[in-house]
Every structure is written in structure tokens, then in C-alpha cells.
Structure 1
């Protein structure tokens, strides 16, 4: 071994070994060393042997993750939820990770924060990493060309919680319209006619379906829709507090409130109590989505429950089937919801 090479080896062992170090020790270019180590392109037999021997002497390990990503060999699945801070999506992410890990796949989570442009950028970035498949909760039911491109691009794709019209791929959702209708039916059966709705952005598939359930129930019971009873809020506790206070500060306030997700339900609870309004004596409350605090409040909160423990595992199974090369017919699964009656609804007080 030439003295210069021996000195080079001694020096690099004192620090992290790089591709440049291996190339210098083997007396080749970095490009040649990269081809020899990563088994792509042509490298002569004797040159390849020198590179491999130099890498072995130096203890070079390389960036295995980068190599695997570049060659599409790392078993990564991308999950793009609406907002990972939402307990619903946090639970879905947990269940996806558990199921995928059983099949030696890893989950990479990137939240769109309900922003379509951010969702597009995230999907482009993830595709550049050779992600093997995607599970997505689309931020919009209408602006979805980028979702359609995934579906037709031979990229395994499962939509979760939210379907997209005319996009042909597997999906796992619940009967949002039916669940919302059952909630409002229950309020009407308990004598309520002025029922407020606290909902989120109308671009979102679930918001559209839950609004439809609210409207359909009122129509079926012969109750005219009062648009002033419909409040729009971002799906956060803070925004729901503000929207609820605005709604119930009016002189002819509603006797009941239906909220379309658990964060809004929590915000409504805080707002009503801050206003000195008692649940259910002053205001009856039903929320879509069960949540831990719903059974720790007094009274406990009546909710429309989703089978959340089944949604994530099933979405993972559908994607793993596609990744395994199976080509069954497209599967669109829609779970029923369940009204869980607790103590937050009473007949309205007579004025």
C-alpha cells in the first residue's frame, strides 16, 4: 500500500468516513466510488475491488437510508391527514403505524393543515422520495386534481375519512350524512326546533355530508332552515369558542347545538359555561365524534360515534394489499355511525 494512502486511512479513522475518503483511498473519483459501492453503472472489476477493499478498511457504511430512498427500496408509506392535532387523525396515525409496522413498513406523516396548496406540495415532495404508497385525507372535495393524478399514476392510494368524487381508488369513510341526520332527529324528538349547527370549511367532504344530514333532518320534520343558526368555524377549540359565543349571544338564541367534530364540541362546552349557560337545562348539545372528555363532563355528552378503531387498520390493510401486487376491484368502505345517548339533551324550557 503506498505511504500516501496509508496516511490517508490513518487520518480518516479519526473522524467520520465519507465517500470522498473512500475514493481517495482507492485512488478513484467520487463518481466511480459511488457506482462501485451502490452497484449501478459500469466499473471495471479491478477498480471495483479496490473501492470495496478501501471501504472495508475505512469502515465506510454510507447513507443506507438515502441509498434506499433513491432506489425506491425503503418501505415507506406516506400519511397526509387534515390536521394531526385533531384527536381523530392522531388515532388514525397511531393505528396505521401499528398495522404497517407488522409488515415491516414505516409511516411518514405530513399534515396538510386543511390547506390544499400545502397538500399538493407535500404530495409532490413525498413522491420525490419514492414513497411506496399513500393514505390521504383530502383537504378539499372539489380541488383534487393532484389526488386524481396519484390514483391514475400506478401509485397505491387509499383515501381515509374523506372520499373524492370521480377519483378511482380505495377509500374508508363513515356515513357522515346518516350520523348527522340521526343526531338532529334525536334533538327534534326531544322537542327542539331552533337547532344551531357549528361546522367547518365547506370544501371538506365530511363538512359537506354532515351539513347535508342537518339540512335533511330539518326538512323531513318540516322545520324551515334558518341560515343564521349555522356558524362556520375552523376545527380548533379556540375558534369554536368564539363561534359559539357569537351564536348564543343573540336574544333569540337556539335551544340546542350540534357540533361536527370533537374539537368543536370541546370549544362549545367552554363557551357555553363561560356564558353561564347550563347543559342541558339551558342548551342541549350533541357532538359528532366521541372523545375522552365526553364521559368526564357533568353531564356526559351525547355523541355520534365513529368506529375509529376499525378505520386505520382497514385503511392499512387495503394499502398493503396494493403494495403486495394484489389487484382486487376498487373497494369503497362506508362504516355506519352510532348515536351514543348520554345526558346532554333535555326538552327545551318553556318561555
Structure 2
């Protein structure tokens, strides 16, 4: 019968120490006396314990691993980006560790600290906030390769990849105005997030340019989930004078709006017109198909990974900022309305 691999418990017993002490000695954290640490290492070697070798390799940066912290991995936009980064990482003989901040700064900071403790070679991050960015500044100060994706942070000099969010939102609203709409609703998420602020700015600027005074009653704020978007849409369209058109700032909100309209018996585009930011698979399976502002999502993750691997290969160059254009894909979810 094959002998079972040695465990941390076995090593601790052989060295006559606690498992906590054995773990500290083998993984190089906390304090362990030199004589005790050597006794634990000798025990691990004699028993053929392997776990410590992986941990040591991680901590010493000997394994080719990069980290990626995105906003919400359940969002199809971020899921596709993670997939594309992983493909390019694999082609460069790197492994990828993915974390989801769920748009919470505390979780982003915690994830980054955990990954840094493994001496990961470089990071691709979609920051939740551009105000509290001490953790990202520390990466720059420590010369850890960093690429910001989908969002930028003021005052941090590093590579970044994003799209023209403001311009994309402006295209959507200009199109709705050209179709006769004056009461144009907005379903948006937290303005702490860079993309949300940019899309709000594009919405407002397009209204003003079209001779329409922005009205806070036309804006409903929601977390970027289908469930929260349903509630936010129902609130917006339960007003005495609701919008005649709606612009949603991402695909999850677009899906939430569609479900809310169905529940309320509101017909697209007869009763309300709809334009969403971000294309998504179901957008062409609905009846009518949904007009969207499309991002070149297939290029975003690959561009970020390329920038990171250039840095990891030792290339010395100024930081590069890539900003992709968006496209308005006109389908069937907008109807012409002579009067707003």
C-alpha cells in the first residue's frame, strides 16, 4: 500500500512543536526561534513534506503568477475580460489568480494584501474608487507592475486600459433625442465608480446640448445587479410622469430593466424606448432586439495583459494609456416620438 503524504500535523509531531509553530516556520511568517525553525525544516525534509515548498516558492516569487482583481466576476463584461487575460497569461507560461472586489473598497484592499503576501509578479486591477488608493500607490512605490483596467485613478502613473465611457453615453442620449425623446431616464450605479461618473457626465452633457434641462427625477440609482435594477426601474416608472426612454449604464441593469418592464406590463418600444451600455448575448434574442453602446470587450483584457507582460519582461517605457472607442448598435428597442 502506498504511503500517505506527510501532513503539517505529522511534521509538527515529529519536531515536537504545535501545528501553528510548524506553519510559521515552514511558511516564513511570524516569529519562530532559529533552532526551532531548523528543527521543523529538518522534520519536513525527513518526512518528505511538500506543502512548504509550494508556499516558499509563492512567497519568494519563484512561481510565474499574476493577480487580477475585477469589480464583479458575475458581470459578463468582467467575466470575458478575466477569460481573455487568462488565455494570454497561459500563452506566456503564467498562471492567473482572480479576485472579485464586488465593488467594495475594503474587499479590494484585503484581496490585494493577500495576493501581495504571495509575491505575485504583477497585477491587473479595476479599482473601485479613485479617492482611497493608498494600496495601489504602494504597488507603484514598490515597483510592482500594475495595469488599471476599465477605470483610472487620479495621481497614479501606470498603464491603463479603458473605453470612452462619456462619449459612449453621449451617443446613446443624442440618438434618443434625435428620435424625439425629451424625458430620458437614467439607471446608474454608485458615482464613486469611475465608469458610472463618466457615463453620468455623458448623459448630462448630451441633454444640455440638446436643450433639455437635466432632472434628478429622471435618474434612479441602483447596485449593478439584475435584482436591484428591477427595483430601481419600477421606482423610476411608477412616477406620475415617467420617462419615455431609458438609458442603462451596464448589461446587468439592462436585463433588470427588461424584467421590470415585463412585470409592469410596459411594452418596448411602444411604451418606452431602451438603450443599454454594454452589449450582451440576450440583447439579440429579445423581441425587439436591444439597442446598445458596445465596448470592444474582446480587446480590453488582451490589451491589459499585453501591457503587463511587457513590464514583466523588463521593457522600460513610459506608462501607456489606451482608451478604446465605443459603437452605437441600433436595433429595435427605440421608437420615434414626436413629442417628449
Q: 1:117 to 1:346 in 2, by over 3 A?
A: same
Cα distance, 1:62–1:245 mapped onto 2, change above 3 Å: closer
After TM superposition, the structure 1 = structure 2 runs for residues 299-310 of structure 1, keeping only pairs within 5 Å, are: 299-310=288-299
Deviations 1:150-176 (A, max 9, x none): 122200000000111111000000000
> What corresponds to 2:108 in structure 1?
119
What residue in structure 1 maps to residue 174 of structure 2? Answer: 185
Once residues 164 and 333 of structure 1 are traced to their aligned partners in structure 2, the CA distance between those partners, rounded to angstroms, is 14
Aligned-pair distance for 1:258? 0.1
Q: Does the alignment pair 1:334 with 2:323?
A: yes
Whether 2:81 is the aligned partner of 1:92: answer yes
Contact map agreement 2:181 2:339 (CA 8 A) in 1: no
**Is the 1:281–1:348 contact (alpha carbons within 8 Å) kept by the matching residues of 2?**
no
Tell whether the 8 Å contact from 1:237 to 1:266 is kept in structure 2 after alignment: yes
What is the DSSP-based 3-state SS (H/G/I as helix, E as strand, rest coil) of the residue aligned with 1:110? strand
Using structure 2 for the length normalisation, give the TM-score: 0.88
Provide the rounded CA distance (Å) in 2 between the counterparts of 1:283 and 1:85.
28
Q: Which residue of the partner structure matches residue 38 of structure 1? A: none
Q: How many residues align?
A: 320
Which structure has the bigger radius of gyration?
Answer: 1
Given candidates 156, 180, 189, the residue that maps to 1:200 is 189
Separation of aligned partners in 2, 1:349 and 1:272: 22
Shift of 1:185: 0.2
Measure how far apart 1:72 and its partner are.
1.1
After superposition, the CA RMSD in angstroms is 2.7
CA distance in 1, matches of 2:273, 2:106: 38
Distance 1:305 1:22, change over 3 A: same
Deviations 1:301-351 (A, max 9, x none): 000000000001110010001111111110000000000000000123769
Trace 1:125-204 onto structure 2 (pairs within 5 A): 125-204=114-193
Structure 1, unmatched stretches of 5+, are 1-9, 35-41, 43-50
How far apart are 1:145 and its partner, in Å?
A: 2.1
- Among candidates 275, 280, 289, match of residue 269 of structure 2: 280
Aligned equivalents of 2:198, 2:166: Cα separation in 1: 5
SS at match of 1:274: helix
Q: What is the rounded CA distance, in whole Å, between the counterparts of 1:204 and 1:82 in structure 2?
A: 10
Deviations 1:125-149 (CA, angstroms, capped at 9, x unpaired): 1111101100000001222222222
Deviations 1:250-294 (A, max 9, x none): 111110000000000000000011111110010000000000000
Aligned in 2, Cα 1:71/1:277: closer, same or farther, shift over 3 Å? same
Where in structure 2 are there 5+ consecutive unaligned residues?
16-21, 27-33, 35-41
